[in-house]
C-alpha cells in the first residue's frame, strides 16, 4: 500500500482545487473544500470520493446511506490509480458502522424510541414522548444528542 505522505502529495498535485489537512477524524468539508485525512489511505480516498461527487453535508439520514455507498464506489475507482486498497470487506464494515451510527443518533434521548427526522432542519422528534433533539455529525468522536424541547 502507498505511504500516506506520498498519497497526499499526489492528491494535492492532481486536485489543486481541494485543500488537504491532517485530522483525527477523516471527513470532507464542502464549505471549506477541504479533505481532512486521518492515518488511513483508504479513508482518504473515500473522502476524495465525496469531494469529486460534490457531496454536501446537509442531507437527511436516508440519503446519507446512499451518499456513503456512492462515495465508496467512487473510492474503488480512484484507488486503482493510487495503489490504495479498498476491499469489499472494508466497505461493508464501514457501511455497518455507518448504519449503526445513524441508528443510535435517531434514538430518543428521553425514551429510546426511534425518532422521525425533519426534512427542514434535520432535527429529530419522538412521536412517543414529544422530545425534539439534534445530533452532531462528527462520526468518530462519539455521539452527542442535544435536546431542543421536551
108 binds Zn ion (CB under 5 A): yes
Q: Which stretch binds Zn ion (CB under 5 A): 7-15, 33-41, 57-65, 111-119?
A: 111-119
Nearer to Zn ion, 13 or 71 (CB): 71
Is 110 near Zn ion (CB under 5 A)? Answer: yes
* Per CB under 5 A, 43 contacts Zn ion: no
Distance CA 150, CA 144 (A): 17
Q: Tell whether residue 48 is a contact of Zn ion (CB under 5 A).
A: no
Give the count of beta carbons closer than 10 Å to the beta carbon of residue 1: 11
Q: How many CA atoms lie within 13 A of 28 on its CB side?
A: 22
Cα–Cα nearest to 41, from 72, 1, 71, 76 = 1
Q: How far is the CB of 113 from Zn ion (least distance, A)?
A: 5
Question: Which three three-digit cell numbers place residue 21?
Answer: 489537512
**Least CB distance to Zn ion at residue 119 (A):** 20
The strand pair at 124-125 and 116-117 is best described as antiparallel
Q: In the set 129, 132, 134, 139, which binds Zn ion (CB under 5 A)?
A: 129
- Site residues, Zn ion (CB under 5 A): 68, 71, 108, 110-111, 113, 126, 128-129, 131
Amino acid at each position: 500500500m502507498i505511504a500516506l505522505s506520498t498519497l497526499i502529495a499526489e492528491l494535492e498535485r492532481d486536485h489543486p482545487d481541494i485543500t488537504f489537512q491532517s485530522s483525527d477524524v477523516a471527513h470532507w468539508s464542502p464549505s471549506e473544500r477541504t479533505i481532512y485525512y486521518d492515518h488511513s489511505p483508504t479513508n482518504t480516498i473515500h473522502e476524495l470520493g465525496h469531494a469529486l461527487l460534490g457531496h454536501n453535508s446537509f442531507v437527511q439520514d436516508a440519503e446519507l446511506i446512499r451518499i456513503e455507498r456512492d462515495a465508496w464506489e467512487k473510492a474503488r475507482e480512484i484507488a486503482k490509480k493510487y495503489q490504495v486498497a479498498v476491499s469489499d470487506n472494508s466497505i461493508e464494515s464501514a457501511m455497518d458502522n455507518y448504519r449503526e451510527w445513524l441508528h443510535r443518533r435517531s434514538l430518543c434521548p428521553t425514551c429510546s424510541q426511534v425518532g422521525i427526522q425533519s426534512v427542514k432542519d434535520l432535527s429529530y422528534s419522538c412521536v412517543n414522548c414529544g422530545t425534539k433533539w439534534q445530533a452532531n455529525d462528527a462520526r468518530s468522536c462519539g455521539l452527542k444528542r442535544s435536546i431542543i424541547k421536551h
